[in-house]
Structure formats: C-alpha cells, structure tokens
C-alpha cells in the first residue's frame, strides 16, 4: 500500500502510558493495544488471533505481552510471537512527537453489506420505526446494522436499562398503534428478561417483534456461555419464530416476522446466531408489497340482519366497548346517538368515549363506576364490541348479547351469546347503522346517564373530604389529575390499588389514550410502557401512573427518559406498602404479611437522575405540583404520599 494512503492519528499524550504498560485505545473506530517499552511505543491490533482476547487488557511480563485470555505471548512492539510461530496480530507504525504519540493506519476497508443489514432494511420497509433494547456481545452485528440505519434516519434505537422494559415498551407501542416495534437482547439472560413484557403483548393481542442474539452456531447445544435453546424458551409466548442460518433467506425471515406479528396480533421472535449477523449479503431487502392485506373483515349479511332485528327491538340497549374497538370510536358514537344508548367501556378501553359525553358511562367492572354498573343492570340488550368477556369485565352474561369481533375465537368464548357477528367493528357498525329501520324501540337514556353521574360525582365530592395524617386519598389525586392532565394525553397505568382508583375516579376527556397491562396484570408496566407510548405518539403529552411497588420494578428507567429527553410526567402514589396485596390478604382472612416497603424519597431520586421531582404530602399541594410537572421541559416525577386505606 502506498504511504500516501496511510493516515497518522494521535493516540496518547507524552508520558501518559508508563514504561512496561499496555492499554486499549480506539482510533478511527478501530481498537488497538498501545504498549510502551522504555522510550518506544507499539500499536497492535487489539484482537488476539486465537480466541479474540483483548490484548490491551493484558500485561507485559519479562519483555512479552501476554494475552489475558489464554496466556499466549507476543512482542509488545512488533507483535511477533516466540520463535518458530507466525500467528502475529497486525502491527502499526508509531511515532513520538513533541505533542504526543501517533500511530499510522491504513484507510478503513469499506464494510460489506451484511445479513443483518438486509434484515434491518426489511424491517424498515415494513414500517418498523423503533427498536428498544440492550447491545451486547452476541448481537453486535445486528446492533451495527441498526446503528447504520439510525444514521440514515431510517429507524430509532432506544437503549434501556433492563430488557424487560424493552419488551413492555414494544408491547405498549403495539397496543397504541396496532403496528409492531422491536425489542432486542443478547443470548441467554438478556433474551429471557424479555419474556414478561412479551407475555403482556401476547395476552393483550398487541403485535411485537423480539430479536435475540445467540451464541455462534457451532457452539449451540454444547453448554457454551449463555447457550440456551431460545426457541424452546419462547415457544409459548411467540406466535411465530425462527433461527437464522447461513443459507437462510434473511429478508424473508424478517418479512415473515413482521407479517406474523401484524396478522396474528402477537409476538414474533427472530434468533440470530452471532456469526450469521455479519455474513456478507447482496440479497435485496423484503417489504410489504403483495404481503400486507386489508384487515377490515366484512360481516355476513345474515348476521347483520339478526343483529339489526335485536337492536331495533331493544328498549334499553347498552353498548360495551372493548380494546378491540379502539379504532371504531366514530362508528360507536354514531350508533349510540342513533339509539340514545349509554356507552360503557372495559377498563382496557377506558377513555375511548369521554366521561363528559352525554352517553359516556365510564368503566364497567371491578375498576369501574357505579354509573356503568347501574346501566348494565337496567339494560335489556348488550351490544359488545371488541370485548374479551374476561372475569374482570363485568358484562352480564345472562343478558341478550350481540357480540362483534374480528376474531372467531373471541365470539362466544366463555359462554353462548344471542348473536355473534364475525367482522371488523367499524365496518360492521356501518352496516348496522345503514340497516336500522326508522322506527326503533330504544328509549333515549341521556337523562338517566346524567342522573347517575350526578349521584356518583356527589359521592366523590364527599370522599374528597376524607384525608388523614397518613396521606392523601386516591380520589383527591385523580380529581386533581383530571383537572391538570392535557385532554389529548397518552396515559400509561400500572397495576395495584392506584390502578383501580384511576379507573374509578379519573374522568377522561375522550381524546386521551389509556394503556395498561390488561390480562397479564404485570406490576411495573407503566414507566417502561411510557417509552413505547412516546415512540408511537411523540407529539402527545405523556403521563404514567404507578404505585410505589410498581415504580420500584423499573426505577432505573427514569434515567432512560433523562438520556433521551422524553417529557414523561410520572405520578407515583406512595403508601409504603403493596396495598392491593394487603387488601387481598385481609379479604382472604389472612394476616397482612410482608407487604410493607422501604422507599426512597422518589422526588429526590428523580432529581438525582436529572429529572424534575415534586413532593406532595397533602391534597392542597396536588394542583401546584402537577402544574409544575406539566410545565417542565423534560421528564418529571410527582411523589404523592397516600393513605393506603383511602382508595
């Protein structure tokens, strides 16, 4: 190579490296072992030719540089091994100048396009915009492909503190958008840490993509470090998964991963052995053309006729909206106003119809309002739209029910229903509204909805007066939050007494989106879910709510919000107890045991992390603290000390 093709780089100050010492330096993206022997310096490729050990972490003993991994010796200035061997690392020319130590390096070779590049390009073509994860030794090739894609502006990578947070973020993203984001981890424990968040996506039917690094293929099944059968570990949580091999069609694997996550509304899992990620590839990227489909399933005409007959003949119908109707709010309201029928929501669908709407009746079920439960009891027909009928939902199974869902397995899942309609909710409601006769039996229930709300709001006002020396009541917390929370916020809620109280007391505007761990009910969900909500809707105000038990699960992720400047407003209700568990112990006639918690000052912790922190010790301080939090530019935490008994 011509000397003009070589460049000099300054690597150390004079006397920065002591005689007889070695250290690692990074130059132009390349890792070198810099050595000093007397007044001479050496610069060697930092990778031992045998096992890849970092020579810069070795030591110089008796005039030889010893590899820290297997004890092999090299001359520290030339890299030459003992006489008779020829396995030397590359050596580069050094020069000592008046202003430091310099090394001469050839230009970096252009990196070939890799299998990992092909897969990342395919994900981008399918519309994957965000990856949440942690970079490590068994996923470096894919991580580098992500780095290059992010430099091109094609994708956004969010580095988290615990892989569980990455999976919860991907799940929340899928719940909010109906499209998958990816979570990313190393082999072994990094990937198994993803499982809880992925189960959350599975049971709530949110599309999510998991990408696991893996030990090299030739080490699989041989008990190597972090060698686990990841496909076996993910067999229950994943709707589709595959391990890439050298002869695989890598673009097709990435296409199938995204397609299955969307089509099945579940988890796809790609396993990438270490050596596969860097394989050179000239294959074209895949994409959705001819592979993605319109999922608006049209209902059968005979079922529409049956549903219309039941609806037209009902005197007091109620509409129950589940998470499956999230994208059909306009059609829901059109039907509700045509019938004068109250709209009740499941907890997962809280806020789809605002509590201020004349027909909005709030949440039905264990976390709901007496408004919704009274209207359910008085009804003579239930129109259930995208509802799961889980045991927490509160739909009266003895009523006549018209159920609409685009998943045949959800229809009549737990008990028979009068009329089961297989169809996407919005187009089904369009057909129903178009087919309803002019003369219907339904009475307008707006006045009754207003009356029931008046009774419930009077009761909440009475409860607002309850406050003890032990802390603020939940009704006061959520009364204040309803006043201060922006009307278009995305709100991520956790699990526990704080969540039940949110469902019962917080009155939604109708333009707010509520995200929760529905059927898994995983404590700790709220804060990492807010990462996914921010990625999905970066221009909307972002709120997360937890108890002290839930926040403690992923407390370190507050530094992730600080790192990326994400303006989350986290509200923590601190009663120094796992209050929901204490309540369950008492209800089961057990002694309260091992539910007490030792907590930091969460507001001070937030400030130590670089976020804003505000403390609330009485209800009179709530509005000022929330106003301050919502006016803060970056992340903010409001620490409210609450009374465990005032829920």
Q: Which of 443, 426, 436 is nearest to 304 (CA)?
A: 436
pLDDT at 514 (0 to 100): 95
Q: Which of 577, 499, 603 is nearest to 544 (CA)?
A: 499
CA-to-CA distance for 637 and 612, rounded, in angstroms?
6
pLDDT at 469 (0 to 100): 75
Query: What spatial distance separates the first Cα and last Cα of the chain, rounded to whole Å?
Result: 76
pTM over 0.75: yes
CA-to-CA distance for 575 and 546, rounded, in angstroms?
11
CA-to-CA distance for 534 and 173, rounded, in angstroms?
8
Q: Which residues of the chain have pLDDT under 70?
A: 1-5, 84-85
pLDDT digits (tens, 9 = 90+) for 492-547: 999 999 998 999 999 998 899 999 998 899 999 999 999 999 999 999 999 999 99
Sheet with 40-45, strands from edge to edge, namely: 22-27, 30-37, 40-45, 91-92
pLDDT at 1 (0 to 100): 46
Q: In a 10 Å sphere around its CB, with 0-12 CB exposed, 13-18 middle and 19+ buried, how is residue 252 labelled?
A: middle
pLDDT at 339 (0 to 100): 97
Among the CATH numbers 3.90.550.10, 3.40.50.620, 3.20.20.70, 3.40.50.1220, which is that of 301-447?
A: 3.40.50.1220
**Is 571 in contact with 477 (CB distance < 8 Å)?**
yes
Architecture of domain 115-277 in CATH?
Answer: 3-Layer(aba) Sandwich (3.40)
Query: H helices of 340-391, where?
Result: 370-378
Place of tokens 């209700």: 573
* Helices and strands (H, E) in the chain, number of each type: 21, 28
CA-to-CA distance for 640 and 298, rounded, in angstroms?
48
pLDDT digits (tens, 9 = 90+) for 537-590: 999 999 999 999 999 999 999 999 999 999 999 999 999 888 888 888 888 889
For residue 327, count other CB atoms closer than 10 A to its CB.
14
Identical topology for domains 3-105 and 115-277: no
| C-alpha Rg value of the chain to the nearest Å | 30
- CATH superfamily for 3-105 is Rieske [2Fe-2S] iron-sulphur domain (2.102.10.10)
Among the CATH numbers 3.90.1150.10, 3.40.50.970, 2.30.30.40, 1.10.3720.10, which is that of 465-641?
A: 3.40.50.970
> What are the boundaries of each domain within the chain?
3-105, 115-277, 301-447, 465-641
pLDDT at 613 (0 to 100): 98
Query: H helices of 436-557, where?
Result: 446-464, 474-484, 497-505, 526-536, 548-553
């Amino acid at each position: 190579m011509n000397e003009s093709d070589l460049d000099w780089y300054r690597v150390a100050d004079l006397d920065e490296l002591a005689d007889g010492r070695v250290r690692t330096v990074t130059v132009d993206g390349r890792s070198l072992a810099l050595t000093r022997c007397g007044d001479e310096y050496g610069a060697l490729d930092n990778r031992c030719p045998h096992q890849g050990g970092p020579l810069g972490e070795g030591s110089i003993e008796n005039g030889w540089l010893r590899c820290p991994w297997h004890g092999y010796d090299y001359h520290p200035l030339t890299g030459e091994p003992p006489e008779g061997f020829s396995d030397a690392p590359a050596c580069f020319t050094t020069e000592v100048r008046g202003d430091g130590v310099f090394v001469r390096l050839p230009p970096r070779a252009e990196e070939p396009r890799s299998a990992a590049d092909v897969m990342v390009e395919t994900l981008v073509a399918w519309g994957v915009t965000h990856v949440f994860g942690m970079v490590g030794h068994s996923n470096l090739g894919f991580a580098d492909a992500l780095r290059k894609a992010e430099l091109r502006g094609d994708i956004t990578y969010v580095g988290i503190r615990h892989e569980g947070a990455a999976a919860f973020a991907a799940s929340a993203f899928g719940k909010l958008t109906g499209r998958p984001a990816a979570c990313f981890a190393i082999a072994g424990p990094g990937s198994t840490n993803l499982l809880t968040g992925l189960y959350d996506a599975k049971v709530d039917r949110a599309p999510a993509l998991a990408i696991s690094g893996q030990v090299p293929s030739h080490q699989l099944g041989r008990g190597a470090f972090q060698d686990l059968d990841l496909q076996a570990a993910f067999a229950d949580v994943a709707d589709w998964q595959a391990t890439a091999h050298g002869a695989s069609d890598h673009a097709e694997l990435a296409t199938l991963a995204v397609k299955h996550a969307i089509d099945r509304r579940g988890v796809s899992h790609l396993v990438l052995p270490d050596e596969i990620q860097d394989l050179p590839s000239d294959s074209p990227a895949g994409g959705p053309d001819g592979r993605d489909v319109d999922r608006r399933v049209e209902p059968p005409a005979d079922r529409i006729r049956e549903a219309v007959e039941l609806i037209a003949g009902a005197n007091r119908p109620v509409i129950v909206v589940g998470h499956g109707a999230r994208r059909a709010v306009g059609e829901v309201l059109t039907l509700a106003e045509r019938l004068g029928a109250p709209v009740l929501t499941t907890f997962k669908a809280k806020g789809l119809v605002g509590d201020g709407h004349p027909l909005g009746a709030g949440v039905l079920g264990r976390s709901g309002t007496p408004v919704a439960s009274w209207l359910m009891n008085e009804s003579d027909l239930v129109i259930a739209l995208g509802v799961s009928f889980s045991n927490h939902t509160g739909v009266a199974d003895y009523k006549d029910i018209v159920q609409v869902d685009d998943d045949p397995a959800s229809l009549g899942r737990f008990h028979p229903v009068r009329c089961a309609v297989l169809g996407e909710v919005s187009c089904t409601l369009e057909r129903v509204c178009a087919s309803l006769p002019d003369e219907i039996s339904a009475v307008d229930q707006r006045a009754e909805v207003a009356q029931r709300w008046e009774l419930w709001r009077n009761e909440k006002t009475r409860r607002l007066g309850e406050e003890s020396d032990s802390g603020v009541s939940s009704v006061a917390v959520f009364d204040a939050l309803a006043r201060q929370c922006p009307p278009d916020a995305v709100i991520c809620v956790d699990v526990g007494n704080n969540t039940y109280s949110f469902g019962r007391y917080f009155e939604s505007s109708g333009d707010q989106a509520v995200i929760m761990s529905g059927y898994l009910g995983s404590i700790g969900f709220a804060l990492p879910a807010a990462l996914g909500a921010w990625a999905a809707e970066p221009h909307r105000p972002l709120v997360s709510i937890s108890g002290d038990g839930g926040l403690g699960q992923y407390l370190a992720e507050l530094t992730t919000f600080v790192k990326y400047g994400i303006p989350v407003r986290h509200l923590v209700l601190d009663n120094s107890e796992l209050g929901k568990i204490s309540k369950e112990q008492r209800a089961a006639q057990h002694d309260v045991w091992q539910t007490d918690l030792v907590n930091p000052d969460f507001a001070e912790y937030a400030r130590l992390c670089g976020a804003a922190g505000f403390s609330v010790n009485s209800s009179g301080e709530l509005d000022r603290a929330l106003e301050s939090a919502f006016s803060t530019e970056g992340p903010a935490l409001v620490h409210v000390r609450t009374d465990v008994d005032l829920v």
